[in-house]
Structure 1
Amino acid sequence: MEKLIRFLSSYKASIVLLLIYAIGLATATFIEKWMGAQAAKMLVYYSPLFLFLQFLLVMNFILILFSRNFIQRKKWAMVVIHCALVVILLGALTTFLFGKEGQVHIREGEKTDQMVMHTSKGVKTEILPFVLELKDFRLIRYPGSQSPSSYESDLLVHVDGEVREEKVFMNNVLDVKGYRFFQASYDQDEMGTILSVNRDVAGRTVTYAGYLMLVAGFILIFFMPDSRFRKLQQRLKEVRKGALVTIFVLTAVYSYSQEMPDGLIDDAVQHNRIPTEHAARFGKLPVQFRGRTMPMNTFSSEILRKVHKEQTFGDLNSDQFLLGILAMPQMWMQVPFIVLSDKEVSRRYNLPEEYVPYYHLFDQQGNYRLLPQLQEIYHKPADKRMFSEKELVKLDERVSILYQLLNHTLFGIYPDPKDPSHTWYAPGDDLSAFSETDSLFIIRSFEQYLEEVRQALGNGDWSKADQALDVIASYQLANDKASLIHPKKLEAEFRYNKMDLFNRVKTGYFICGGLLLVIALMQLLREKRWKSYVAMALTVGIMLLFLCHMFGMGMRWYISGYAPWSNSYETMVYVSWATVLAGFIFGRKSTLTRALATLFGGVILFVAALNWMDPQINTLVPVLKSPWLMFHVAVIVAAYGFFGISFLLGITNLSIMAFTKDSPRLSSRIQELSIINNMSLLVGVVLMTTGTFLGAVWANESWGRYWGWDPKETWALITVVVYSMVTHLHLVKKWNNLWLFNLLSVFAFASVLMTFLGVNYFLSGMHSYGQADGVSSVFLYIGIAFAVLGILGIISYMKSEKGDRETGRLERKS
């Protein structure tokens, strides 16, 4: 028993228990995919063994507090953090034992006092100490679309002899006698509401108290004089005093080039190209699409990316491309621009490889050649379709887009002033909602405009085409009764599209970061003042790029009206920004750190620009229309930037160990970079943990539960646990060496990649709104990269005399 207590009060036990905990959590997420959420909860999350594991963690935290004399030694940061973790786990236990979750279903005009609860023992019904009556349910959609913007329930609450009028909608909670009601769903006929119910006053209070204690502990980490972060700062100063600022690093910067296949743009297309000046006027025309009012330029950019997978068609921009198709459909039907990436589909239908013209997809009788097989495919479940079948479905989607374009039914440019849903109509739509005069005007004005475009292509006079476009724009302004046209925002969005800031910043990051890296390598040979001046100039350039990066994010925020990190593309842009910011924070006196952070920021922007990322500004699903989105995502994604810095520094140190001879200079550099690595990890862990618990608060305010073991939130917790293990390695004597620390700081980044991308691709859950499609090839490259890093780890281990050589300690024992 004494040995068990001694082990439980050790840091080795902490790391071992956390490792088992992380493995258990990861296993549960895959059990959920294969067997369902209920099976994952029964086999792992709520199993006696898993609860016992959490009990052991609590005991470990408490025993360490006393065995290490943290209170007597006044290690207040550690005391508060360990106590906070205990309180959070106790809060979770309180919720598990005493909390209640259920649903209330009410139809309009009806009353109920029953809450239905689904438990492991079956369905239970609980009588509420009050009565709910549904006066009205409303599903509010984005203008001109079927996408829900919000759903709201007007309730009468009969309680204690009184009747209260209340409203419940997403992120707006109703509290009655300890019960909390959240808008969860609704009936298909939109005459009834489904409210989720939660009663967990004690558990929520204890857990929130734990969250506040944890934040307080994190603050103490950075400001207490004897905290580990402050000690690392002091060690860094000591190391730098006795070292030359020289370093050797093996790195590769990959660039890519895209070539348009030859022969795509024939003489006819070039001869009939729309002048850029008029195309720009066309690009500024407001259009309604997917619930948003946007400039035509945004719409045309999305269409071009969907059907051609590029941002330009040869030297034609998206507005020239779209207007060309609308004005000269017969010509464009013969141009091969529809992307086709599967050779099997090409062979089966005798189609050109890579790009297909529209007319090739129809036979001489006008029948759609793909239809017979598509009918078979659509009868199969999506997960049972083969790769070629999925590619055929994607081809069909592109054809459908062009079909709607050619029939003038895809884009809404004519607002109906009498429509309560503020729908805008396309010229080819059913216009029966309009008066006969207006419907004739709509059809004739658009056809007149296209005719003037064709005439102008022949005679070069674009004044009449400009006038015809102005007529349409005047009609829009006169009939926009909902005030959906915001000229300043539309102009800002048009400029945002044309500036293409993130792609320009990406190129700048590669150039400046690469040159700064070269300067760092040159400083290895000899210190020269001019090299310092060049490094300073490059740093100023990086700072200007960083400000442009931030300006682009600000423009996107202004245009959309919400914080620009709600989907995969926006999050990648934000991670890149956070990575460069982390480089500035930890690279003030380390040129290498700054260079690596800048290059990595460019790599992340490069990934964001790949075809499977959607840069389109979209409407938010109702649950994301919450202020908690801004705080939760901003904090948790910022952590990725600091983890990315540690990832690069770990690779750098392993490379030095593997490919250079041992020397005092290089040993000093390894220690310096390892200390920066450690400090970056500490900041990342603080941000990741804080962001995860902010997400829990958001979940509690939106769904009535602060933790539901959704795969996304579970993997966020796994990431916290993984990096907590890495930052505690120095506390175990046998594991306190720089090779192991740097190796694990590299491989820990796999948990970040799994949390950010892998969950959406391999698993499922409530966070599917942020997923990115078509990333299978990316995971192949990630696997190859980590295999190479594994080889690097082996070489560096062997070079370090089979791991026995220690280039230094992360921290001196106190």
Structure 2
Amino acid sequence: MFCNLKRLFVSVYICLVCLLAIATFLEQAYGTDFIEKHIYHSFWFCCVWGILAVAAMMASAGKRLRKFLPALLLHGSFLVILAGAMITFAGGRKGYVHLIAGNKVSSFVEQESGREIDLPFTLLLDSFRVEYYPGTEAPADYISHIRVLRPGQGADSSSCSRTVSMNRILSEQGFRFYQSSFDEDRQGSWLTVNHDPWGIGITYAGYILLGISMIGMLFGRRGEFRRLMNHPLLKKGSVFCLLLLAGSMQVQGRTLPALSIRQADSLASEQVIYHDRVVPFNTLARDFVMKLTGRPSYAGLTPEQVIGGWLLRPEVWQYEPMIYIKNRELCRLLNLKTSYASVADLFDGQRYRLQDFWQGGRETGRKMSPLEKAIVETDEKVGLILMLQKGTLIRPLPKDGGVKPLPSPKVRAELIYNRIPFSKCLFMFNLTVGLLAFFHLVYCGLRHSSERSALSRRINRLFVAALYAAFLFQLFGYGLRWYVGGRIPLSNGYETMQFMALCTLLLACLFRRRFPFTVPFGFLLSGFALLVAHLGQMNPQITPLMPVLVSPWLSMHVSLIMMSYALFAFMMLNGILALCIRRHGKMLMLLSRLLLYPANFFLGAGIFMGAVWANVSWGRYWAWDPKEVWALITFLVYGMAFHAKSLPAFRRPLFFHIYMIAAFLTVLMTYFGVNYILGGMHSYANA
């Protein structure tokens, strides 16, 4: 009987994972409305989850999980979360309400049916306003001041005004109101309405139960994690693999009209308004040169000298081939001998040559071809030069004192951050040292411990010292970005890769004494993370956050997710190493099983903290966005590996390591595949 239940549970589990993966691709092909109607919001999809829950309960009863309370609570928390989701799906109501200043509203429009649903109270909008970051037109928050009038209460009553803004909801009698949009004339405000008096509370109780159970699993004396920590095989050490390097191009120096180095340096710390924040002029100049050339300097000139040259002698600089075009087809059409074009190359008299190659505009929903993307990118670069010449690119601080200038320490910090290429230096250093450390570790692993010399130990100490130096350098750069931006750097693809590299180095520093092979792991994984950021050109300017992103829940959500990814990457590389050095396969399997606990628990906690953030910001804790779905798939795939007692295959080192390598594909899909293939609310592809 128990074997049949186990087979049923595993079959439904695997089918559900496959179904979720297929659904994300169907959504890309047929649209969100189609996939929600036919899969996510369908009766049969709920039944699949129900069958899985029943099978899990019966299988858990057969295994007598009550002997270890944290494991029982862990499985129970999933059932509570699922029950809360089912209640939300069955009984929750969502809609929207449009408030106009001075008008009373006592109903909302239901999202699914479009019907008017009465509210047990009346809403009255006193005012709506948009707060901006100082001196800019970048919104910092959207704020509605609302009065809630109970039956029989007039508009002139003394009821106090309530505030609804981004990440600040209004709760009244089981109804929750979220700031959603506003009218162009600022006289009206649109609020999302959510009425789910039971589902949210039950789901949150499941989240809390999940957190308690995960802590118990990690620290419980009778748990598998503690047993693995004390396993004698894990008191020894072993290794890892992989690589990639990138070259850089140098521009030959030329004699060009430009500001003197002294004049340019004096301009660097002058403050201007750029990308909706106050910055040193060096930041604007550096971004200008980076955008045009792909490098932070040009022809041996500093960014300030380049901008000064364009302002002083545009008739000379317009013939300078400094606009980088990476698309070969566009270079061929422009008759360019290299990948660089000048402004003069793009004009034939008064005729703008790029218009000759543009095929029919940017229709909504149609993906641009590589040539069209290259034309758009090149056009943006030309636009920057034209803005500079017209005087609209550089916006000095107003003289009336309306914008507060940056303090001197912050200016100096930003200048340091701009002038030190942290990512480029670190990815080159980490990959180089990581490869040397890896080959040295393999060499030592092939020899008996008695043959290891004092020289090898000294080399190991050098690698450890380099690891700590890399961590401190990365921490310094990340801290500078934090200080300069005034927020935790976790809002885009570049910053999350930076954080992942930092977490990887930290983990390597923490584990290196007990597991020496984590030293090359740390170098190589952090190097790859920084290389991805560098090659992907995901280094956007440090800009103020969108109002919805200003939330501590978001910071915790991203931090935990990226820490879990770092641990999963360790496990993947550990698996590759085990396949290379088979005699250490069992010990490396024990290490991966040990790391599996914090890795999957970090992922689970990150997913559900993200759900809380989404509920606070948008009024729903789960939206079946492709990023959410693939994070859940990753959680489920790695969750299978916990059940080695029930699934004997996971007790075999070879199968376990191959599974860990294959499972990492879900991590890659979650972070990169969704961003660049599937898209969705969480996509960083355009960050």
TM category, shorter:
over 0.9
The separation in 2 between residues aligned to 1:220 and 1:585, in whole angstroms, is: 22
Equivalent position of 1:188 in the other structure: 184
With over 3 angstroms needed to count, the CA separation of the structure-2 counterparts of 1:49 and 1:363, relative to structure 1, is same
Q: CA deviation at 1:182?
A: 0.4
Equivalent position of 1:811 in the other structure: none
Secondary structure of 1:201's aligned partner: coil
> Does structure 1 retain, via aligned residues, the 8 Å contact 2:467–2:519?
no
Equivalent position of 1:558 in the other structure: 483
> Does structure 2 retain, via aligned residues, the 8 Å contact 1:401–1:410?
yes
The separation in 2 between residues aligned to 1:414 and 1:84, in whole angstroms, is: 54
With over 3 angstroms needed to count, the CA separation of the structure-2 counterparts of 1:379 and 1:227, relative to structure 1, is closer
With over 3 angstroms needed to count, the CA separation of the structure-2 counterparts of 1:681 and 1:586, relative to structure 1, is farther
Equivalent position of 1:227 in the other structure: 223
Secondary structure of 2:214's aligned partner: helix
> Does structure 1 retain, via aligned residues, the 8 Å contact 2:106–2:120?
yes
Q: CA deviation at 1:571?
A: 0.3
Equivalent position of 2:352 in the other structure: 368
Secondary structure of 1:708's aligned partner: coil
Equivalent position of 1:257 in the other structure: 247
Equivalent position of 1:57 in the other structure: 52
| Offset from partner CA, 1:713-734 (integer Å, 9 cap, x none) | 1221111111112333453124
Note if 1:211 corresponds to 2:196: no
Structure 2 residue corresponding to 1:494, chosen from 391, 415, 437: 415
Secondary structure of 1:198's aligned partner: strand
Equivalent position of 2:453 in the other structure: 528
What amino acid does structure 2 have at the position aligned with 1:7?
N
Report the more deviating stretch, 485-494 or 708-717. 485-494
Structure 2 residue corresponding to 1:385, chosen from 368, 375, 394: 368
Secondary structure of 1:619's aligned partner: coil
Structure 2 residue corresponding to 1:601, chosen from 526, 540, 548: 526
Equivalent position of 1:286 in the other structure: 271
Secondary structure of 1:579's aligned partner: helix
Structure 1 residue corresponding to 2:593, chosen from 678, 681, 686: 678
Note if 1:626 corresponds to 2:546: no
> Does structure 2 retain, via aligned residues, the 8 Å contact 1:174–1:180?
yes
Q: CA deviation at 1:240?
A: 5.0
Note if 1:760 corresponds to 2:685: no
Q: How does 1:120-131 map to 2 (within 5 A)?
A: 122-131=113-122
Report the more deviating stretch, 165-174 or 749-758. 749-758
Equivalent position of 2:685 in the other structure: 771
| Offset from partner CA, 1:746-802 (integer Å, 9 cap, x none) | 12111112211221222232224x3347xxxxxxxxxxxxxxxxxxxxxxxxxxxxx
Secondary structure of 2:49's aligned partner: helix
Equivalent position of 1:132 in the other structure: 123
The separation in 1 between residues aligned to 2:417 and 2:183, in whole angstroms, is: 40
> Does structure 2 retain, via aligned residues, the 8 Å contact 1:132–1:155?
yes
Q: CA deviation at 1:703?
A: 1.0
| Offset from partner CA, 1:188-218 (integer Å, 9 cap, x none) | 3322111001111211111111101101111
The separation in 2 between residues aligned to 1:540 and 1:347, in whole angstroms, is: 50
Equivalent position of 1:151 in the other structure: 142
Note if 1:310 corresponds to 2:295: yes
Q: Scaled by the length of structure 2, what TM-score is found?
A: 0.94
With over 3 angstroms needed to count, the CA separation of the structure-2 counterparts of 1:569 and 1:246, relative to structure 1, is closer
Note if 1:19 corresponds to 2:3: no
Structure 2 residue corresponding to 1:107, chosen from 96, 100, 110: 100
Report the more deviating stretch, 568-577 or 730-739. 730-739
Structure 2 residue corresponding to 1:334, chosen from 306, 310, 319: 319
> Does structure 2 retain, via aligned residues, the 8 Å contact 1:81–1:218?
yes
With over 3 angstroms needed to count, the CA separation of the structure-2 counterparts of 1:535 and 1:273, relative to structure 1, is farther
| Offset from partner CA, 1:619-646 (integer Å, 9 cap, x none) | 2111101121111111111111111111
Equivalent position of 1:807 in the other structure: none
Secondary structure of 1:731's aligned partner: coil
Secondary structure of 1:649's aligned partner: helix
Q: CA deviation at 1:280?
A: 2.6
With over 3 angstroms needed to count, the CA separation of the structure-2 counterparts of 1:356 and 1:512, relative to structure 1, is same
- Indicate the RMSD between aligned Cα atoms, in angstroms: 2.2
What amino acid does structure 1 have at the position aligned with 2:291?
K
Equivalent position of 1:7 in the other structure: 4
Equivalent position of 1:29 in the other structure: 24
With over 3 angstroms needed to count, the CA separation of the structure-2 counterparts of 1:357 and 1:124, relative to structure 1, is same
The separation in 2 between residues aligned to 1:717 and 1:648, in whole angstroms, is: 22
Q: How does 1:501-516 map to 2 (within 5 A)?
A: 501-516=422-437
Note if 1:43 corresponds to 2:38: yes
**Considering only CA atoms, is the larger Rg found in Structure 1 or Structure 2?**
1
Note if 1:93 corresponds to 2:86: yes
Secondary structure of 2:178's aligned partner: strand
| Offset from partner CA, 1:22-76 (integer Å, 9 cap, x none) | 21212222222222222212221122222122112212332233211221x2x11
> Does structure 1 retain, via aligned residues, the 8 Å contact 2:475–2:502?
yes
What amino acid does structure 2 have at the position aligned with 1:401?
L
The separation in 1 between residues aligned to 2:9 and 2:468, in whole angstroms, is: 41
What amino acid does structure 2 have at the position aligned with 1:109?
G
With over 3 angstroms needed to count, the CA separation of the structure-2 counterparts of 1:273 and 1:761, relative to structure 1, is same
> Does structure 1 retain, via aligned residues, the 8 Å contact 2:272–2:280?
yes
Q: How does 1:535-574 map to 2 (within 5 A)?
A: 535-574=460-499
The separation in 2 between residues aligned to 1:674 and 1:211, in whole angstroms, is: 30
With over 3 angstroms needed to count, the CA separation of the structure-2 counterparts of 1:490 and 1:14, relative to structure 1, is farther
Q: CA deviation at 1:257?
A: 1.4
| Equivalent residues, number | 678
Report the more deviating stretch, 630-639 or 252-261. 252-261
Secondary structure of 2:295's aligned partner: coil
With over 3 angstroms needed to count, the CA separation of the structure-2 counterparts of 1:377 and 1:165, relative to structure 1, is same
With over 3 angstroms needed to count, the CA separation of the structure-2 counterparts of 1:52 and 1:601, relative to structure 1, is same
The separation in 2 between residues aligned to 1:196 and 1:180, in whole angstroms, is: 8
Report the more deviating stretch, 149-158 or 562-571. 149-158
Equivalent position of 2:535 in the other structure: 610
The separation in 1 between residues aligned to 2:362 and 2:53, in whole angstroms, is: 52
Q: CA deviation at 1:13?
A: 4.3
Structure 2 residue corresponding to 1:344, chosen from 329, 334, 356: 329
What amino acid does structure 1 have at the position aligned with 2:376?
V
Q: Scaled by the length of structure 1, what TM-score is found?
A: 0.80
| Offset from partner CA, 1:121-154 (integer Å, 9 cap, x none) | x312100011111111112334455432221111
For structure 2, which runs of at least 5 residues remain unmatched after alignment? none
> Does structure 2 retain, via aligned residues, the 8 Å contact 1:712–1:765?
yes
Note if 1:411 corresponds to 2:406: no
> Does structure 1 retain, via aligned residues, the 8 Å contact 2:242–2:524?
no
The separation in 2 between residues aligned to 1:762 and 1:96, in whole angstroms, is: 29
The separation in 1 between residues aligned to 2:331 and 2:465, in whole angstroms, is: 51
> Does structure 1 retain, via aligned residues, the 8 Å contact 2:649–2:656?
no
Q: How does 1:458-477 map to 2 (within 5 A)?
A: none
The separation in 2 between residues aligned to 1:328 and 1:726, in whole angstroms, is: 66
What amino acid does structure 1 have at the position aligned with 2:588?
L
Note if 1:176 corresponds to 2:159: no
Structure 2 residue corresponding to 1:357, chosen from 314, 321, 342: 342
The separation in 1 between residues aligned to 2:367 and 2:625, in whole angstroms, is: 25
With over 3 angstroms needed to count, the CA separation of the structure-2 counterparts of 1:275 and 1:592, relative to structure 1, is farther
With over 3 angstroms needed to count, the CA separation of the structure-2 counterparts of 1:29 and 1:315, relative to structure 1, is same
Equivalent position of 1:722 in the other structure: 637
Secondary structure of 2:70's aligned partner: helix
What amino acid does structure 2 have at the position aligned with 1:507?
M
With over 3 angstroms needed to count, the CA separation of the structure-2 counterparts of 1:381 and 1:706, relative to structure 1, is closer
Secondary structure of 1:749's aligned partner: helix
The separation in 2 between residues aligned to 1:618 and 1:183, in whole angstroms, is: 22
Secondary structure of 2:459's aligned partner: helix
Equivalent position of 1:743 in the other structure: 658
